[in-house]
Amino acid sequence: MAVAPPENDPPSAAPRNGFDRYFEITARGSTMSREVRGGLATFFTMAYIVVLNPLILGSAVDGDGQKLSIPALAAATALVAGVMTILMGVVGRFPLALAAGLGVNALVAYEIAPEMTWADAMGLVVIEGVIIAVLVLTGLRTAVFRSVPTQMKTAIGVGIGLFLTIIGLVDAGFVRRTEGNTTVPVGLGIGGKLVSWPMLVFVVGLLLTLVLVVRKVKGAILIGILASTALAMLVEAAGNIGPSFVDGKPNPKGWALNVPELPSSVVDVPDLSLLGNFNVLDSWGRAGWVVVLMFVFTLLITDFFDTMGTMVAVGQEGGMLDERGTPPRAKEILLVDSIAAASGGAASVSSNTSYIESAAGVAEGARTGVANLVTGVLFLLAMFLAPLVVVVPFEAASTALVVVGFLMMTAVRTIDWSDYEIAIPAFLTIVLMPFTYSISNGIGAGLITYVVVKLAKGKAREIHPLLYGVAALFVLYFLRGPIESVVL
């Protein structure tokens, strides 16, 4: 199981003070320096959400033709991410940061909001978060998590590692969709070639980070991000490359999202006008109860199982799972995640969820909620320091995702590939996450296949009763397109 390189001076067995005892820093074999480095690494790998979430939500219109303010979305995105990440650190005491969920925000922006007002759409997110919180408090969500076989949990972590890798490669522009080619969906760089300066920054940063990891340098991932950012700023200053879109026209050789240049100002006053702009009742009358139920169901399944997979993957990366593949304080972790989902809707920034980029911090040595305190405070500062946050480009931050993807992939050796009853479901779980860009799709396909294979072998008694219900829900999830076409 991949873990961060050890410190030169191992921590003592006894906690040093009350803070240490509460967060179990020493008990988990960590130190304050590791936690701080881990919190910094996590923030830099997911700070892009402060820019990207407003672009996704702010580009869509609701049923009344209204748009949300991008500056207000940026401020609220950073605020909720900061508060919920700190809450996870204090209550869950687990190095798992939270922010507006990618995929869910697109669903809200392009499918839900056009059927109603923005306030109504965000109200559905609040409802979904409350439902998940109830499932946690009743113990059902934790029970479902524990019903998944241990080797399937390992497969989920490995699949997420590959998912992280392809996210990093795509975000950096190293892997792209091929143009005018119907047989090969993706390819290397532009036209099969690495022909842009941003790609060079990514390659140099990745190689540097890998060398640092191999040499077991403290803070290897964080150093890689910062060094890559510095190189990107030099490249931009010399070449004036600009963004990937200029005046609405594509610039394939430009920076993917953030342009790494010194901002004209460092401090900005946050606009928090979107807080509380939600309505939980009007959507039922405007869009119809069937439409609303389908939307809530889709949000529920996505949030429910994405977090389960993320929690396992991060715990697996840090060696923090027990013999059943369960992290410490699982109920508290899941409860905070559900509160974050509702809070995201209440702040008009879509459901907030656990981020797999947290694995970058764990790879730096984070093992406790202290890393979350660092990440959360940085998100709160980002409300005021937004111009400074956007200096780090995708091409620099993505180096961490690829390296962490490798570290998480190493757990694949613990799966028994000679046992087809577990190997086939594990294989589908692993490959479908990166190939469909969805954690839930991978988990769903794997669990459905697991149940089908066990039944085919006449081993129904080996299936936990809850997995039958989970598999049935995933069947509905995958068939929601035909179902919607019939009932809507």
**Which of 404, 367, 406, 327 shows the shortest CA–CA distance to 36?**
367
Say if residue 413 is exposed, middle or buried (CB neighbours under 10 Å; 0-12, 13-18, 19+): exposed
Report in angstroms the alpha-carbon separations of 278 from 71, 105, 291, 293. Answer: 18, 15, 18, 17
pLDDT by residue for the chain (488 residues), tens digit each? Answer: 344 444 444 445 677 888 999 999 999 999 999 999 999 999 988 888 888 888 789 878 999 999 998 889 989 999 999 999 999 999 999 999 999 987 788 888 887 898 899 999 999 999 999 999 999 999 988 888 888 888 998 898 888 889 889 988 988 889 998 877 667 888 898 888 888 999 999 999 999 999 998 998 877 888 888 899 999 999 999 988 988 877 778 888 899 877 898 877 778 889 999 999 999 988 887 777 767 887 888 788 778 778 888 898 899 888 998 888 889 999 999 999 999 999 999 999 999 999 988 998 999 999 999 999 999 999 999 999 877 777 888 898 888 888 888 988 888 998 999 999 999 999 999 999 899 888 888 999 999 999 999 999 999 999 999 999 989 988 988 887 787 677 65
**Which of 179, 426, 387 shows the shortest CA–CA distance to 263?**
387
What token pair was written down for 294?
Answer: 């389908």
pTM: 0.77
- Measured in degrees and rounded to the nearest 5, phi and psi for residue 316 equal -65, -40
DSSP 3-state assignment of 353? strand
